[in-house]
Structure 1
Amino acid sequence: MRKISLIMMCLFTVIGWSQNNSQKKDTVKTEVVEIETKYNPKIADAKKIKQQPKVSILKGSKRKTLKYNIFSVPVASTFTPKTGVVKGIDVGVKERLYNNFLALGYGNYNSPYAEFYMHHNTRFSNSFGLHLKYNASLENIGGTALNSGFSDTYSKIFYRQEERFFDWKVSLSAQRSEFNWYGLPAINFSQFVIDRIEEQQQYNQFNLQGEVNFVDSKLDHVHADIQYFNDQFGSSELFGTGLANFKFPVDFLVRNYNELEVLTGLDYLIGGFDQSYSGSNTQKYQFLNLHAKPSYQFMLGNASFQLGTKIFLALDIENDLQHFLIYPDVRFQFPLVKDALSIYGGATGDLHTNTYQNFASENPFVSPTLFMTQTNEQLNLFGGISALVTNRISFHFKASRKTEEDRALFVRNNSKSDGLTVIQNNATLQGYEFGNSFGVTYDDVTTTSFLAELEFEASKKLAINGNIRYSIFETTRAAEAWNLAPFEAAIFAKYKNNQWYASASLNFMGVRKDALYSNTFPSSIVGTQTINGFLDANLNGGYHFNDKFTVFLKINNFINGSFQQYTNFNVQGFQATAGLSYKFDF
């Protein structure tokens, strides 16, 4: 405690001295001196551009991704790999860019799709926009006794203003999603029971975000996010986050030193469920985290380094618990062969706030009866190598070992019905209590992972990318790392010319394990149920009539594979969505 107190006193002293020093009145008068001299430029004065420029991963700001995604129609078979992005290709003749678009489409399984995006810039240094989106699949999957359709409605408005010394942005979004717990277990349910299962679940989400970016200020940017999430079973939660990023000059200590960056913030989560799966009292939770993440980046020769730490004060208000946590945040990168081969590594950790909204986004078939706690990522050691084999081929390999306390694992809930009754303890069973939903269990898990990626630019119009990940999960209490796949792989390809475009993906997920129960609820886990691996193949293409009109076709699961997204939740077969998009300006 004395060491921590001494460190905090030194930190506040430095910050206070910096603020007082910046507030002193400058009495030195300034004059503008214009110097004119003759300059004869030479060819040697120009700095040559490298064919393959190298940018350090630790310096500068990251390039912002363009969020202009059309035809993103999620379907039941869509598999999203954790890594892998198709390498950029030559887009050919430069086409005109528009700020607005409208897209309409329709597919089998009675799947309508509509999306509208509007972005308008004014002459008063501000802009505003609107985004609307609807997609659904209203026809049931073959072989399912319950309704298996889904729908999703999303809307967002935003406003952005540029001032002299800062710019700010505010946005408000709303989303409504409907799903069905259609994955009944291998129990002989009578038609009487099936007709009385209310399998529908509805999620509602409202999100308010704001951010301010400053120019030439120790306070670099501020971000705030308030999110409200609920469902039709009385579950609700409120999650608020606030971040403030400071950059303090330290060249008063040593000349030409970089800035010390300190990211501060708070997370507040409060929510509850009407009951647990056992039918006991309401499940309430409330967490408050205060954190500071100082870091410093510098170069030693050709090597890049980041030295930092993450400090958390975590409060479990509902259970009256407090934790003070410190994690490392150290990274380095060293080029072995300039512009061709480099190694990197580091050690980090973090405290992750689990939310009902995040669980429902990852697995929409969870039951509204979850126990909520936080995940303590105690240590994450990683290292890797990146290589540019030729101008067309690049390679990346990464190995990591991560230790987590209370990692969340999805596990299938046990059925409260034997297939002949819909009543237990004089109460009618809810639609998620027939073994057709998932709970969340927590365990201390150590994960050792190996990732290999390969990118190949076949031509200026065709790029191919592939990745393979193998993981070893070591659990402490759980019999298995429930619903985690040790092996995952993906291959992507992208082609584009002046009028045609096409992309393809092959995604493979290996075997997973889920719980097997001895009898109806309440009963203990007596074994494991194997979920077979699957291959999901998808195609997406289109034709540009001109800069404004495009016809598109999106095919998912085009090999018509029969596999399970989660235990007992079969996916749709061959799916095709076709439509037309129109880009325009007002």
Structure 2
Amino acid sequence: MSKSFLNYMPVFLLVMLTAVNASAQQDSTNLKQEVEVVKAYEPSVSDVFKINDIPKIQDEKGEKPVFEYKISTQPVFSTFEVAPVQAAQMVGEPKAELGKGLLKAGFGNYKTPYGEFFFNTEAGRNSIFGLHFKHLSSHGSVKLMNDDKVDAPRSENVAELFTKHFFRRSALSTKLFFDRQAHRYYGYAGDELSNEEKEALFPYWNEQQAFAKGGLQFNLNNEEDTRADLNYDLNLYFHHFGTKTDQTENLIKLGTGFKKDYNTFEGLLTASVSYLKTDGIIKEITSSAGNKQQVLINLSPAILLQGDIAKLQAGIHTFALLDDDDDARLLITPNIKAEWSPVENMMTLFAGADGRLQQNHYSAIAAENRFVTPTQDIRNTEHQYILSGGIKGKFAPRFNYRAQVDYASIKDEHFYILKETEVLATSETTYQLNRSNTFDIFYDDLKQLTLELELYYTASDFLNFHVQGKHFSYSLDSLEQAWHKPDFEWRISTILNPEGPVKFNADIFFVSKRQAYAQRAVFDPLANIAGPVQLDKMNYTLSSYVDFNFGVEYQYSPQLSFFGRMNNFAFQKYENWLGYAQQGFNVLVGASLSF
């Protein structure tokens, strides 16, 4: 479409100042605050993490999770690599006691230094100010599945500044952030190769890559004001993202959310408008290098009816996407949620119908798979409908459960594959083979069925268990397999927090085998065709694995504690992405000082 729509961006932003926010994934019965705000943290069980992206328990202190169902087609953990465990979270509402600081430092095998600093304090009678810095890096080597031992360094650096100011009937939160993650393209599939062969065959072999993202967030809301006739939630988000391979991205999003009580029902309205510009990519539509610009508009009106044992939310999600290289797109999906509790606090039946337009901007894809080919331009994904239903409640006062079924229709889901090219020799040209250790994209439409079970049992005030499992079934239109996606995922976690100075936690993860794919296009310069004369297909199986992690903390004094964390204690050798083996057994030890 014409680029002239970009001239109207100021108008869109002005309009949205009087309208509403939130992604289609949010539960619009709550005006969700998107800005991360400061709270006084408490030194707790040190969940210092490893570098190799293993899923992990989030609740180190043993607090009972809230069993809120959500309609989602994404696994709880690792079809994609999961971000490392955070040592202490500065999110949520502030507590009464402020002015604390926390310094954590440690070191592990794989030459892994770790340091993290938190500080927050009252900055006036009604304001809070906080800082957070983190460094984690690993400089060791990894043995690939073909037994090739390669250097696989990785690092993460984070800097964040938080503020929150409480007005009489509202609160303003701000956040400045910078995050930089660096790694190398160290992996490859197939048989072991010499260093000379790898340099010749793989364009990105052992190349350094870095993802740097900085930005700001603002949030103004009065959702805690129960006397207000109208509750609102206003959000502004901006980030700039850049890579070492010269891709850049600028994203700005303005959103609002409103909730009003009309006596017999509540009116809900959420909306957002975002502007995205990405540069340094090969555009899919034109096959040319350059920049890509998009405007995404979302409007989601709904009504909410609530009774003593039941509630119903009914509405729609509307998405409009304007792209400077493509025709405008419109997607309308249901926004329906229902709950009925025939046995109060013991059993709740729920159902829903939802959908969303998922904007696959570059930084989101890089976070999902850091080994994707840097110049990729990935299509947006339409979740045309997501049907959900299940049951949740308690078997006993200390035993919570949730069982859920999701069925989703998804258009243009992306799957990561490896592409190679081979050019046959002629009397005038030499033979050429170009392999790849960065991932390209295949697309397909699919129907996905997800069965999920979650249990949480508090055996005592000092011991609890958490079990969560998912089974996935995929029906694709054209692809043979849902590449890199598992059929099963299970997680078992326990926390032992007895009286005394020592605390323990342990996690066990199981991920089923996954299928992966590489394709080699063979070209013959003498053939009278423009495309390849042959496509060679190579199927791979990524083995299932069980991962066992164990953590301990010793509280030496109210201010000083020592911690240790062992990961991949089962000594499993596995890949999350074809060709990229993860670290084996690793351990990190350190100390925490609060002040």
SS of the residue corresponding to residue 414 of structure 1 reads: strand
C-alpha distance after superposition, 1:69-115 (max 9, x if no partner): 9644342151359x99996269xxxx988631000000001000000
The equivalent of 1:15 in structure 2 is: none
Q: Is the 8 A contact 1:58 1:305 kept in 2?
A: no
Q: What residue identity is the alignment partner of 1:501?
A: K
Residue range with higher mean Cα deviation, 67-76 or 531-540: 67-76
Residue range with higher mean Cα deviation, 212-221 or 381-390: 212-221
Task: Describe how 1:467-478 pairs up with structure 2 within 5 A.
Answer: 467-478=468-479
Q: Provide the identity percentage.
A: 21
Q: Is the 8 A contact 1:87 1:455 kept in 2?
A: no
Task: Describe how 1:325-474 pairs up with structure 2 within 5 A.
Answer: 325-414=331-420, 434-474=435-475
The equivalent of 2:298 in structure 1 is: 291
The equivalent of 2:527 in structure 1 is: none
Give the direction of change, closer, same or farther, for the CA distance of 1:88–1:491 in structure 2 (3 Å limit).
same
C-alpha distance after superposition, 1:520-562 (max 9, x if no partner): 7976352421111111111122011222111110111011111
C-alpha distance after superposition, 1:469-521 (max 9, x if no partner): 11111111222111111111110101112322111111111111111335679
- Superposed displacement of residue 288, structure 1: 0.9
Give the direction of change, closer, same or farther, for the CA distance of 1:502–1:97 in structure 2 (3 Å limit).
farther
- Superposed displacement of residue 61, structure 1: 6.9
TM-score by length of structure 2 reads 0.78
Residue range with higher mean Cα deviation, 159-168 or 505-514: 159-168
SS of the residue corresponding to residue 497 of structure 1 reads: coil
Aligned counterpart for 1:228 among listed residues 240, 243, 248: 240
Query: How far apart are the structure 1 equivalents of 2:59 and 2:450?
Result: 15
The equivalent of 1:209 in structure 2 is: 217
- Superposed displacement of residue 218, structure 1: 3.4
Query: How far apart are the structure 2 equivalents of 1:209 and 1:259?
Result: 28
- Superposed displacement of residue 305, structure 1: 1.0
The equivalent of 2:107 in structure 1 is: 106
C-alpha distance after superposition, 1:41-85 (max 9, x if no partner): xxxxxxxxxxxxxxxx9966789997959644342151359x999
For structure 2, the 5+ residue unaligned runs are 1-17, 20-26, 66-95, 524-531
Query: How far apart are the structure 1 equivalents of 2:60 and 2:445?
Result: 31
C-alpha distance after superposition, 1:237-270 (max 9, x if no partner): 11121111123443xxxxx224312112112221
Aligned counterpart for 2:516 among listed residues 514, 517, 521: 514
- Superposed displacement of residue 395, structure 1: 2.0
Q: What residue identity is the alignment partner of 2:139?
A: L
Aligned counterpart for 1:272 among listed residues 273, 279, 284: 279
Query: How far apart are the structure 2 equivalents of 1:219 and 1:137?
Result: 46
Q: What residue identity is the alignment partner of 1:135?
A: L
C-alpha distance after superposition, 1:150-195 (max 9, x if no partner): 0111111122222334321222111111111111222553332446
C-alpha distance after superposition, 1:99-154 (max 9, x if no partner): 31000000001000000011111234112111100001111113445421101111
Query: How far apart are the structure 2 equivalents of 1:220 and 1:583?
Result: 37
C-alpha distance after superposition, 1:364-405 (max 9, x if no partner): 111102122211110010100113112222221101100011
The equivalent of 1:52 in structure 2 is: none
SS of the residue corresponding to residue 359 of structure 1 reads: helix
Q: Which has the larger radius of gyration?
A: 1
- Are positions 1:537 and 2:540 aligned together? no
- Superposed displacement of residue 329, structure 1: 0.7
Q: What residue identity is the alignment partner of 2:240?
A: Y
- Superposed displacement of residue 361, structure 1: 1.1
SS of the residue corresponding to residue 188 of structure 2 reads: coil
Query: How far apart are the structure 2 equivalents of 1:210 and 1:202?
Result: 27
Q: Is the 8 A contact 1:133 1:153 kept in 2?
A: yes
Query: How far apart are the structure 2 equivalents of 1:481 and 1:581?
Result: 43
Task: Describe how 1:154-173 pairs up with structure 2 within 5 A.
Answer: 154-173=158-177
Q: Is the 8 A contact 1:77 1:536 kept in 2?
A: no
Query: How far apart are the structure 1 equivalents of 2:562 and 2:97?
Result: 17
- Superposed displacement of residue 351, structure 1: 1.0
Give the direction of change, closer, same or farther, for the CA distance of 1:496–1:118 in structure 2 (3 Å limit).
same
Aligned counterpart for 2:583 among listed residues 569, 572, 576: 572
State how many pairs are aligned: 511
Give the direction of change, closer, same or farther, for the CA distance of 1:438–1:327 in structure 2 (3 Å limit).
same
The equivalent of 2:253 in structure 1 is: 241
Q: Is the 8 A contact 1:206 1:227 kept in 2?
A: yes
Q: Is the 8 A contact 1:167 1:212 kept in 2?
A: yes
For structure 1, the 5+ residue unaligned runs are 1-17, 20-56, 251-255
- Superposed displacement of residue 228, structure 1: 1.2
The equivalent of 2:571 in structure 1 is: 560
Query: How far apart are the structure 2 equivalents of 1:342 and 1:120?
Result: 41
Give the direction of change, closer, same or farther, for the CA distance of 1:424–1:506 in structure 2 (3 Å limit).
farther
- Superposed displacement of residue 414, structure 1: 2.9
The equivalent of 1:4 in structure 2 is: none
Query: How far apart are the structure 2 equivalents of 1:576 and 1:259?
Result: 52
Give the direction of change, closer, same or farther, for the CA distance of 1:554–1:219 in structure 2 (3 Å limit).
same
The equivalent of 2:136 in structure 1 is: 135
Q: What residue identity is the alignment partner of 1:306?
A: Q
SS of the residue corresponding to residue 524 of structure 1 reads: strand
SS of the residue corresponding to residue 389 of structure 1 reads: strand
Residue range with higher mean Cα deviation, 438-447 or 102-111: 438-447
Aligned counterpart for 2:51 among listed residues 64, 67, 75: 75
Query: How far apart are the structure 1 equivalents of 2:421 and 2:149?
Result: 16
SS of the residue corresponding to residue 347 of structure 1 reads: strand
Q: Is the 8 A contact 1:374 1:406 kept in 2?
A: yes
Residue range with higher mean Cα deviation, 555-564 or 266-275: 266-275
Residue range with higher mean Cα deviation, 182-191 or 380-389: 182-191
Residue range with higher mean Cα deviation, 136-145 or 574-583: 136-145
C-alpha distance after superposition, 1:248-300 (max 9, x if no partner): 443xxxxx2243121121122210334479x9631543221112111221124
Q: Is the 8 A contact 1:99 1:119 kept in 2?
A: yes
The equivalent of 2:195 in structure 1 is: 191
SS of the residue corresponding to residue 298 of structure 2 reads: strand
Query: How far apart are the structure 2 equivalents of 1:357 and 1:424?
Result: 39
Give the direction of change, closer, same or farther, for the CA distance of 1:190–1:573 in structure 2 (3 Å limit).
closer
Q: Is the 8 A contact 2:31 2:233 kept in 1?
A: no
Aligned counterpart for 1:263 among listed residues 253, 256, 270: 270
Q: What residue identity is the alignment partner of 1:293?
A: S
Query: How far apart are the structure 2 equivalents of 1:291 and 1:160?
Result: 27
Q: Is the 8 A contact 1:507 1:535 kept in 2?
A: yes
